[in-house]
């Protein structure tokens, strides 16, 4: 992920990509390595996306939108729930009877979060930010995604300052693990 454009276009493109991955998961018959690879791919994209939003989007929401603290806090709570589900999925075998219900829970949580951002948060941000501010945020989001972790770390701090300090190190370790195991390469 890293598409160019302003922050809203960037994040909405991410949303569409994850929705497509979910569609592929739903269409997949059975379990096995193909499902594991796709769940890993979804995990990588959702973790990168979430970390970037927590580092740059939500601080901007707090700064520019009236009532932005409540909006940002709600979105971060959504991320926390999704990250816990991703951690569950990471530990599961694709043959586990709970895999399908947990995947459905993930898809439901992400769909609700995406709908809330696109129908509530993004329009408010577009109203209060200049085109230059939105473009600058898009650049920051893309850079953050390139350095972000690729695995869920639910106990990691979601405060922007802590995340900016810790995410690159966690991201480096995650990418090294992914390289060694071949995770995310299919």
Question: Angle, to 10 degrees, between the axis of helix 99-116 and the axis of helix 33-52?
Answer: 30
Alpha-carbon distance of 179 to 2, in angstroms, equals 20
What are the Cα distances from residue 136, in Å, to 8, 52, 105, 109, 132? 11, 13, 34, 28, 6
User: From 2.60.40, 1.20.120, 3.40.50, 2.60.120, which CATH number describes the 7-181 domain?
Assistant: 1.20.120
Band (pLDDT 50/70/90 cuts) for residue 175 is very low
pLDDT digit string, tens, across residues 16-34: 999 999 999 999 887 788 9
Condensed to tens digits (0 to 9), the pLDDT of residues 84-108 reads 999 999 899 988 999 999 999 999 9
Residue 140's nearest CA partner among 123, 160, 154, 121 is: 160
Where are the domains positioned within the chain? Answer: 7-181
φ, ψ for residue 68, nearest 5 deg: -65, -30
Q: Which of 112-126, 142-156, 164-178 comes out lowest in average pLDDT?
A: 164-178
* Nearest-angstrom CA–CA distance, 87 and 14: 20
7 touches 137 (CB < 8 A): yes
d(CA 153, CA 43): 11
Confidence of residue 83 (pLDDT cuts 50, 70, 90): very high
pLDDT at position 89 = 94
The DSSP-derived string for 57-83 is IHHHHHHHSTTHHHHHHHHHHHHHHHH
Taking alpha carbons only, the member of 97, 82, 106 closest to residue 31 is 97
153 has a pLDDT exceeding 80:
no
* Cα dihedral sign, 94-95-98-100: positive
Q: What are phi and psi of 115, to 5 degrees?
A: -60, -45
């Amino acid at each position: 992920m890293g598409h160019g454009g302003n922050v809203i276009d960037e994040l909405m493109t991410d949303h569409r990509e994850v929705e497509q991955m979910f569609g592929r998961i739903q269409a997949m018959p059975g379990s096995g390595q193909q499902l594991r690879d796709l769940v890993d791919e979804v995990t990588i994209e959702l973790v990168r996306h979430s970390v970037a939003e927590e580092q740059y989007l939500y601080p901007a929401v707090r700064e520019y939108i009236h009532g932005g603290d409540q909006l940002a806090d709600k979105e971060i709570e959504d991320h926390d729930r999704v990250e816990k589900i991703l951690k569950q999925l990471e530990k599961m075998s694709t043959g586990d009877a709970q895999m399908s219900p947990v995947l459905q829970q993930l898809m439901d949580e992400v769909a609700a979060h995406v709908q809330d951002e696109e129908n509530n948060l993004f329009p408010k941000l577009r109203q209060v930010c200049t085109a230059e501010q939105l473009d600058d945020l898009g650049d920051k989001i893309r850079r953050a995604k390139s350095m972000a972790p690729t695995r869920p770390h639910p106990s990691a701090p979601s405060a922007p300052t802590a995340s900016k300090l810790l995410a690159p190190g966690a991201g480096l370790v995650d990418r090294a693990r992914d390289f060694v195991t071949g995770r995310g390469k299919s």
